[in-house]
């Protein structure tokens, strides 16, 4: 599958871990449809690890745990499809999955055929318990080839955590997205660390194979499988804005059955989603800014219609001033041009004067703009 914009959806791992079952998945599909998430673009519902029995059947095939999924995966997939969603599942390039269930090593083609028969549209493919002898690029090539010959269009989500220099070879495998970082946790430090890890990998993001900064923690509030200390709504908004502007897939990780209004507003901001889903999928650029610092991030990304997406992110615990000059965007005084800036969270619109943008942001806060070039 060639994916033209970053995939969007929901994954069970962040909140539920091993505690998944048929009822949960069907209720989640109901909630995604009823809440409007499907209309916003969140099209994949993905079951993560811990869905199978601990052993394959006599034909060497994976078997869904009959206690968790009594009607089998085909019935679950049919229900999910009936809600206007696409259905995703999980496997691993090793002998075992990360939680100790059968992996797909040396079973790639039979597993791909099984997933196709069940109606799977998305495969998250992890990297635990993999061979210490066979390089990861060969393992991911195997599954990529198996999926492309299984008779069904299945999105290949490679989850090798950026290990073994994944960025150098992942586009050889047929993957549509690849995990460029380690796992996310529901803490502010985790958000900061993953955002900073991504900077050197921006050149490898693009149409067909997107850098996956891991699933979203928006709306978790410290609950669930990766809950830990949790974040507040300001931090969740900044987290979501960073992932969107940097072009990461947007895979929800909270319990969508019980989202509060603030979580719905963050995940459903159509202007932020439009930036993430911009058809050009161009590389973001880190601006130097004026008197900036390590935890003061300014990013710009040229959109397909001539506009710019510009994000200012204060990752510090204190209010800070973030400033940059339009020269960094190619708009010096000699051009006779400036920017009209529209902030997509608060709605403020203004014209930049004196070729300089200066904004004061509260702790952990962000501002994201759609900016269009106008005459001075």
Structure tokens at 203: 């050149």
Question: Using an 8 Å Cβ cutoff, are 187 and 16 in contact?
Answer: no
Residues 294, 322: contact at Cβ < 8 Å? no
CA distances from 193 to 187, 198, 211, 238, 358 (A): 10, 9, 15, 13, 26
Can 126 be counted among the known catalytic residues? yes
C-alpha to C-alpha distances, 153 to 1, 39, 57, 188, 251, nearest whole angstrom: 6, 22, 25, 37, 20
The span from the CA of 63 to the CA of 71, in Å, is 12
Nearest to 234 by CA among 120, 115, 364: 364
Q: Is 345 helix (H, G, I), strand (E, B) or coil?
A: coil
Clarify whether 212 is annotated catalytic: no
- In angstroms, the CA 190 to CA 7 distance is 22
Question: Which tokens belong to 69?
Answer: 């999924």
Assess contact for 10 and 256: CB atoms under 8 A: yes
Active-site residue, selected from the candidate residues 65, 183, 233, 295? 183
State which H helix or E strand residue 341 sits in.
strand 337-343
Angle (deg, nearest 10), helices 72-82 and 22-34: 10
* Number of CB atoms found within 10 A of residue 345's CB: 17
Active-site residue (options: 126, 186, 212, 255):
126
List, by residue number, the catalytic residues.
Answer: 126, 183
């Amino acid at each position: 599958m060639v994916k033209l914009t970053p995939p969007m959806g929901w994954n069970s791992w962040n909140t539920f871990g091993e505690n998944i079952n048929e009822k949960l998945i069907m209720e989640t599909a109901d909630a995604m449809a009823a809440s409007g998430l499907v209309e916003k673009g969140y099209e994949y519902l993905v079951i993560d690890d811990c869905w199978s029995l601990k052993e394959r059947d006599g034909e060497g095939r994976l078997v869904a745990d009959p206690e968790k999924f009594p009607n089998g995966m085909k019935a679950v997939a049919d229900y999910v499809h009936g809600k206007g969603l696409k259905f995703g599942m999980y496997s691993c390039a090793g002998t075992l999955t990360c939680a100790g269930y059968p992996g797909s090593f040396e079973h790639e083609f039979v597993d791909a055929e099984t997933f196709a028969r069940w109606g799977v549209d998305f495969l998250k493919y992890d990297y635990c318990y993999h061979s210490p002898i066979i390089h990861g690029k060969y393992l991911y090539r195997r599954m990529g080839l198996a999926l492309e010959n299984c008779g069904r269009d299945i999105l290949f989500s490679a989850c090798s955590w950026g290990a073994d220099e994944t960025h150098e070879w992942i586009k050889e495998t047929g993957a549509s997205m690849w995990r460029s970082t380690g796992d996310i946790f529901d803490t502010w430090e985790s958000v900061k660390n993953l955002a900073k890890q991504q900077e050197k990998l921006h050149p490898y993001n693009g149409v067909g194979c997107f850098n996956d900064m891991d699933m979203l923690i928006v709306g978790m509030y410290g609950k669930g499988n990766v809950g830990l200390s949790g974040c507040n709504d300001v931090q969740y908004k900044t987290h979501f804005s960073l992932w969107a502007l940097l072009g990461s897939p947007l895979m929800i990780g909270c319990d969508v059955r019980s989202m509060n209004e603030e979580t719905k507003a963050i995940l459903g901001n159509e202007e932020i989603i439009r930036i993430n889903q911009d058809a050009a999928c161009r590389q973001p650029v880190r601006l130097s800014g004026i008197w900036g610092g390590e935890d003061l991030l300014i990013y710009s990304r040229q959109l397909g219609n001539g506009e710019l997406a510009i994000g200012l992110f204060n990752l510090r615990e204190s209010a800070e001033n973030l400033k940059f000059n339009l020269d960094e965007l190619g708009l010096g005084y000699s051009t006779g041009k400036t920017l009209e800036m529209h902030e997509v969270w608060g709605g403020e619109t203004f014209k930049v004067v004196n070729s300089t943008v200066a904004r004061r942001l509260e702790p952990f806060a962000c501002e994201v703009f759609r900016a269009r070039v106008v005459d001075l």
